[in-house]
Amino acid sequence: MRIRSVGRRLAVPLFAVALLAAGCGANDTGAPEGAVAALGTVNDINPHDVSELRDGGNLRLVMSSYPEQWNPLQLDSDGGVASVVRPTLPRSFVTDSAGKISVDTNYFTSVELTNTEPQQVTYTITPKAVWSDGSPITWEDIASQANALSGRDDRFLISNTMGFDRVEKVERGVDDRQAIITFEKHFADWAGQFAGNSMLLPKEATATPEAFNEGWRNGVTKTAGPFVVQSTDRAQGRVVLGRNPKWWGDTPKLDTITFSELASEAMVPALANNEVDAVGLGTRDDMETARNTAGVVIRRAPSNFWNHLTFNGAPGSLLEDPAVRVAIIKAIDRNGIAKAMQNGLVPDPKPLNNHIFLQGQDGYQDNSLPFDPEAAARELDALGWKLNGDVREKDGRRLEIRDVMYNDQTWVQIAQIIQQNLAQIGVKLVIETKPGNGFFTDVIQPGNFDVGQWSWQGDAFPLSSIPQIWGYYPDDLQGNYGRIGSPELNELIEQTLSELDPQKAIDLANQVDKEIWAEGHSIPLVQSAGNVGVRDNLANYGAAGLASLDYTKIGFLK
């Protein structure tokens, strides 16, 4: 599943799962420049046994905006709220530093593919697992969420079906603690339906469209994790998580986790002033500040956030023609962007050349379009977009495109490079910055852009995101904010999701990626370096790599 985020630096320290990892050295700045470990095999979280940690303490983290919608499965939510609620909600699988999944036994004793014709998955819930009001977690919670995310009732404003549109039924198993999901069509990414960036909500939150869309609009109801939402303060931009008194697992070492809303430019200074304990480092200046701050170390593991541009190809839009979009892609020097943005942050900056898989992830291959500005100019000429002075025109319209992004220095710098690239072929790029609050709900979802910039965050289950972002279903927007697609691509996506053989599914997913490039849907730019400035006495937290964070084991050294 993909979760969107307004900016790379904003979200890096907040999320539990990352998809790629690079090694770290023994010095206090993390990995030595030029040192690289095998991707997907390590992380950098300062591991310590819980016996070495002191009891109590408050972990201070940042968020780019106060949550507008607390339901992480609802269309209006973004990556920020997922980071806040993840320590409070169940999931079926966790990942280790090598990316291998295993059942999260805090919540399930087993999750198994028990049949293939028809496909069936059996979830057996841990007997002690309860919601924060003491009520048991049961098969009804699973069934209710499966119904809400099925897409059969469009009043549920969902961000992703997560394959539940392929589910025939959910039944009670041997008792209330077991659910059997039967699929009417195969679903390749079945293991991710309650894992990664998707979490299980109580049935009350998914029972009706009103409950799903509005019940968690201003806060959560009941949850089930080592932490609960202890207090919220919209005016101060602050959310505090505290220990869950009903938690049945290992007692967390921390007393509280506090999320504070900070503007992008204030985050690293807050780390330097000892106001927060961990912040993503998105620029060389950020890295230098962290290096020069006493008590702070840099933890490194390339993250699963990736910067990109999405085109608006809606009917009647300036960039409706896919041939125009493809020409523009060829005029953008993505290698140059990678080097300009990540020299000094990673040893060998490279652009991300695949929409679905990240570098180092099983299935990743380069399917990208070439950088060829001369070809781009010729193609625009052939399409009737002729130069008139410095800017091309056709039928009285200027090829002047609005690039809309969160007001962050990194995003603006990327846009300025693209602006220079496109000026060489007679395309004018106008940079528009927006605040974090309302960025998706007020700007991106309504399509108020020609090109939009934000980050996507993936997890260990990338196939489930394919229809969410690149399938085009006019009556079900999900994450395809550019409104670009075709029936042919939808059919190829369907084949991919129906393939239960993992390698065949990967091959089909790469065919999908080639078609995404060919239709000029969007442009992946760079994968986030994943560098995080962290207090040197904070253990079991930092740059997680592929591994899930265990919130019961995060804490401060004695």
Q: pLDDT averaged over the chain?
A: 89
pLDDT score, position 334: 98
pLDDT score, position 40: 44
pLDDT score, position 238: 97
Which residues are within 8 A (CB) of 157 and not within 5 positions of it... i.e. 6 or more apart?
Answer: 74, 75, 76, 209, 212, 213
Both tokens of 398, joined, read 């200027």
Q: Average the pLDDT over each of 77-91, 181-195, 244-258, 304-318 and give the range with the smallest value.
A: 77-91
Please name which of 116, 192, 193 lies closest in space to residue 498, comparing C-alpha atoms. Answer: 116
The DSSP result for 426-479, as a single string, is T-EEEEEEE-STTIIIIIITTT--SEEEEEEE--S-GGGHHHHHT---TT--TT
pLDDT tens column, 486-545: 999 999 999 999 999 989 999 999 999 999 999 999 999 998 888 999 999 999 999 987
pLDDT score, position 198: 87
Counting other chains too, the contacts that 232-240 makes at CB distance below 8 Å and 24 or more residues apart are 234/66, 237/63, 237/65, 237/66, 237/261, 237/262, 239/63, 239/66, 239/67, 239/84
Pairing, β 256-261 against β 397-398: unpaired
Please name which of 256, 295, 258 lies closest in space to residue 61, comparing C-alpha atoms. Answer: 258
The band of 21, judged by pLDDT with boundaries at 50, 70 and 90, is very low
Pairing, β 238-243 against β 227-233: antiparallel
Evaluated on CA atoms 541, 301, 270, 410, the torsion sign reads negative
pLDDT score, position 99: 65
d(CA 500, CA 166): 13
Query: Token pair 């408050």 is at which residue?
Result: 58
Is the pLDDT reported for residue 33 higher than 70? no
Please name which of 271, 276, 305 lies closest in space to residue 291, comparing C-alpha atoms. Answer: 271
CB 452 within 8 A of CB 358: no
pLDDT score, position 37: 33
pLDDT tens column, 202-215: 999 999 999 999 99
CB 270 within 8 A of CB 71: no
341 or 143: which carries more pLDDT confidence? 143
Both tokens of 498, joined, read 């129906």
SS3 state of residue 182: strand
Q: What is the mean pLDDT of residues 294-314?
A: 92
Is the pLDDT reported for residue 249 higher than 60? yes
Which residues are within 8 A (CB) of 388 and not within 5 positions of it... i.e. 6 or more apart?
Answer: 398
SS3 state of residue 164: helix
Length in residues, the chain: 558
Give residue 340's identity as a one-letter amino acid code. Answer: A
CA angle 36, 458, 119 (to 5 degrees): 120
Q: What is the mean pLDDT of residues 43-70?
A: 94
pLDDT score, position 65: 87
Give residue 140's identity as a one-letter amino acid code. Answer: E
Is the pLDDT reported for residue 81 higher than 80? yes
Evaluated on CA atoms 311, 312, 314, 317, the torsion sign reads negative
SS percent in the chain: helix, strand, coil, step 5: 25, 25, 50
